[in-house]
Amino acid sequence: MRNPGLRILIALLAWLAAFAAQAETAGQLVQREGSGRVNWSAGIVGVQGSGGATASDLQTQAPSVEKARADATAKARAKLLETLQGLRIDTSYRLGDITTANSQVSDQVRTMVYHLPVIDQLETIRADGGVEVQLLMSIRGGFSQLVLPEEIRKIESIAKVFPSKNGSAASPGFSSETSAFSGMIIDARGILVEPALAPKVLDERLEEVYGPTFASREHAIQHGIASYYTDMNKAMAAPRIGAHPLVIKAMRTAWPGLCDLVISNVDATKLRSSSKHLVFLRECRIIIVADPL
C-alpha cells in the first residue's frame, strides 16, 4: 500500500475495532443498532459478516477462501446498510426516513458502503475455510455532509452575530477575545437519552440553546455536533472540550425522539449571556455524558 495516509487510517480503524468490545469500560458510548454497533464517541459504525464454504466446495473438498471472503464481505455490507438505516439523525428522523423519501441520498449512502475498503487486519480465516470480515465506517466527514440537516450552515465569523456597542460589526479578530470556558459537558446521566447526529440543547421553554443553527457546518462535519461518553472523567480529559469546560446538568430529554436535552433556564441564560460562549458552540466543542446503552 503506497498511500501513507491510508495506512494510518487503516491502522487507526483496526485499533478501534480491537478495542470495540471494551468500549463501554473505556467510557465510550456504544449502541447496538440492528446487527451492528455504533460508537458515538469515535463516530464509527462497525459490523461483521461471516462466509463459509459452499456445498459444492465441501463435495470437492476444496473450499475457496476467496468465495468465503466475498460472501462474508457481501453480508457485512448488507448489515452495514441495515445499521445505518436505523441511525438517528435528529429528534424527528432516522436515516431510513431520509433515504425512503430521497432516492438520491439513498443511492449515495449505498455507494459509500459498497466502496468501503475491506481492512485486512480485521479479517479472520477459520480452520474450516470460512472467513469473518469486519467493516468500519465513519459517520463523520462525507457521510455527515450528506445527511446532516441543511440548517447547519457555514459560519464565517461570529462577529456578524454579535455587533459591537456602537452598532457596527465586531472586528474579524473576535476570536482573540478570551472565553471563560473552553467547551461544554452536559451531564445527562440518570435520564433516558438516545444519541443522534444532530442533537439539540433546549431551555425549559423548549427554545434552542445549542444545535444545528449554532454549529459551523465545517466543524459539525469533521467532529460531529456533539460527542457522547459514559464516563465523566473520560469526558473531562477529552481534547475536544479543552482544559476548562462548562459543566451543565440536563434535566430531561424532550419527546418524542429523546435525543434533545433540556437544561434549566438559569443554565441557558449562562450560555446566552456572552458572545464568548458562541465560540465553543460554533466549533462543536460539546460532549454529552450519558448512561451506557
- Give 53-99 pLDDT, tens digit per residue: 655 554 544 457 788 888 888 999 999 999 999 999 999 999 999 99
Domain termination site, one of 126, 147, 168: 147
Asked if 212 and 109 sit in the same domain, the reply is no
Q: Give the residue-averaged pLDDT of 204-210.
A: 94
Greater pLDDT, 127 or 232: 232
Would residue 257 count as lying in a domain? Answer: yes
Q: Is the peptide bond before 245 cis (omega within 30 degrees of 0)?
A: no
Would residue 275 count as lying in a domain? Answer: yes
Asked if 234 and 259 sit in the same domain, the reply is yes
Domain termination site, one of 121, 147, 173: 147
Would residue 220 count as lying in a domain? Answer: yes
Note the pLDDT of residue 179: 53
pLDDT tens-digit series, residues 230-279: 999 999 999 999 999 999 999 999 988 899 999 999 999 988 877 777 88
Asked if 126 and 171 sit in the same domain, the reply is no
Range of the domain at 264: 158-289
Domain termination site, one of 147, 180, 208: 147
Would residue 85 count as lying in a domain? Answer: yes
Asked if 117 and 216 sit in the same domain, the reply is no
Asked if 18 and 137 sit in the same domain, the reply is yes
* Pair 187, 289: CB distance under 8 Å: yes
CA 237 to chain centre: 19
Asked if 131 and 180 sit in the same domain, the reply is no
Q: Give the residue-averaged pLDDT of 152-172.
A: 42
Would residue 20 count as lying in a domain? Answer: yes
Q: Compute the distance between CA of residue 27 and CA of residue 84 in angstroms, rounded to an integer.
A: 23
Mean pLDDT, the chain, whole residue set: 81
For the beta sheet containing 227-229, the strands, ordered from the edge strand earlier in sequence to the opposite edge, are 227-229, 286-289, 183-187, 245-249
Asked if 204 and 103 sit in the same domain, the reply is no
Would residue 172 count as lying in a domain? Answer: yes
Asked if 191 and 134 sit in the same domain, the reply is no
Would residue 152 count as lying in a domain? Answer: no
Asked if 269 and 163 sit in the same domain, the reply is yes
Would residue 153 count as lying in a domain? Answer: no
Helices 65-85 and 103-114, packing angle to 10 deg: 150
Q: Compute the distance between CA of residue 228 and CA of residue 203 in angstroms, rounded to an integer.
A: 20
Asked if 142 and 163 sit in the same domain, the reply is no
Asked if 125 and 71 sit in the same domain, the reply is yes
Domain total for the chain?
2
Note the pLDDT of residue 66: 80
Asked if 23 and 117 sit in the same domain, the reply is yes
